[in-house]
Amino acid sequence: MSQIIKNSIIVTEERALTLAAQLVGGQPYGMMRASQNEFSAAAYYSAVGDVVSSTGTPSVGDLQFTPFWSGAGGIVSELAFNVNTVGGAGSVARCGLYNADQDLLIPTTLVVDGGQFATDSGTGIKNTTGLSLVLAPATLYYFAWICGTAAPVMVTLSSGAHFFGRNANFNAQFGLIKTGFGYAALPLNAPNPVTGYLSSAAVMVVARFSAYTK
């Protein structure tokens, strides 16, 4: 059985294909390869499972984690989120990226905190640029997002991550959440355990690649 080896991370081809199928909702792996071949430095890439964006108001102080599949790997130069309607006076937010346990499918250690952005003025994209984050191929990561003081209305995900299933009401589950975490710089280690699944107002955090491994 062949292995994918990158940056001292070893993933069997069977494991990579299985995760790929889970993360794209059982679509053939060839469809993922096709999308990789169409990689564009001008495009933003969001959490797995999203179909059409929506809007929603997250809760202040709740730390959200949404899964991000690295595809063939590459270098991420930018993280961003999009404010639809500004929050009240003093509203702030930040996003970041975490490593993940590839078997337990939970966030682990902080890769980068994108820093604080004011979200009480100026709608549109809030982005952290000039990054040089090397992502391993065929690997699960997690975006993180949190807001403080007052919540803005955010551009959110509209479809859950397939490997999280659906809740008792058949609602989508977009990721994981630690409720009542409290606004602050992102922790070096993701809280474990988290409160549960993220099932509403899942903020769309996106990444932009400056280089992509074919």
Residue 3 has pLDDT above 70, yes or no: no
Which range is most confident: 41-45, 83-87, 167-171, 199-203?
83-87
Question: What is the mean predicted confidence (pLDDT) over 7-15?
Answer: 44
* Tens-digit pLDDT profile for residues 177-186: 999 999 999 9
pTM of this prediction exceeds 0.85: no
Residues 6+ apart with CB under 8 A from 8: none
Phi, psi (degrees; rounded to nearest 5) at 47: -60, 155
> What confidence score (pLDDT) does residue 214 get?
67
DSSP state of 164: G
